[in-house]
C-alpha cells in the first residue's frame, strides 16, 4: 500500500468479477426500422462509451464480440447511421469513430450545467460543467 489509502495496489481487483453492462436507449431498442443485428451492434458501442458520446472501435472487434461476420457489422453500422442513431467518422482503412446521438451518453453522472464541448476526437458532446 502507498500513502494513506487503504486500497490494495496489488493482487486481484475487487471489481474483476463484476459483470459489465450497456445502456441501450428505448429509441434504439424499440426502433422497428432497425434489424436485431443493428440493435446488438449499438449495444456493443454503448458498452464501450464512458461519460461521453464517442467510441473508437474496429468492426472486427465488434464482430468477434457478437460472434458474427464483419460484413454484418458493417451493414448494421450503416443502418444505425441511416436511422440517425449514430454518426460515423473516418475514411480509408483507419479505424472509425462512432458518435452516439442519444442524450443518454452525453450526460455526466453528476449532472450540473450542460453544454456542448469538443472532445479530444474533435466531435461535439454534451458535458456537465460547474459554475464558478
Domain range list for the chain:
26-106
What's the CATH number for 26-106?
A: 1.10.10.10
Query: Taking the model in full, what pTM does it have?
Result: 0.69
3-state secondary structure of 49: coil
pLDDT digits 0-9 by tens, 55-100: 999 999 999 999 999 999 999 999 999 999 999 998 878 888 999 9
pLDDT digits 0-9 by tens, 10-59: 444 455 667 888 889 999 999 999 999 999 999 999 999 866 888 999 99
Q: How far apart are CA 42 and CA 39, in angstroms?
A: 5
Kind of pairing, strands 54-56 and 97-100?
A: antiparallel
Amino acid at each position: 500500500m502507498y500513502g494513506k489509502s487503504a486500497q490494495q495496489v496489488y493482487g486481484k481487483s475487487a471489481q474483476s468479477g463484476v459483470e459489465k453492462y450497456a445502456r441501450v436507449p428505448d429509441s434504439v431498442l424499440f426502433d422497428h426500422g432497425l434489424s436485431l443485428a443493428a440493435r446488438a451492434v449499438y449495444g456493443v458501442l454503448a458498452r464501450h462509451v464512458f461519460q461521453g458520446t464517442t467510441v473508437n472501435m474496429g468492426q472486427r472487434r465488434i464482430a468477434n464480440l457478437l460472434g458474427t461476420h464483419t460484413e454484418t457489422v458493417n451493414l448494421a453500422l450503416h443502418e444505425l447511421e441511416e436511422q440517425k442513431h449514430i454518426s460515423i467518422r473516418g475514411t480509408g482503412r483507419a479505424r472509425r469513430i462512432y458518435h452516439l446521438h442519444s442524450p443518454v451518453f452525453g450526460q455526466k453522472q453528476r449532472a450540473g450545467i450542460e453544454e456542448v464541448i469538443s472532445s479530444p476526437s474533435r466531435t461535439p458532446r454534451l458535458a456537465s460543467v460547474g459554475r464558478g
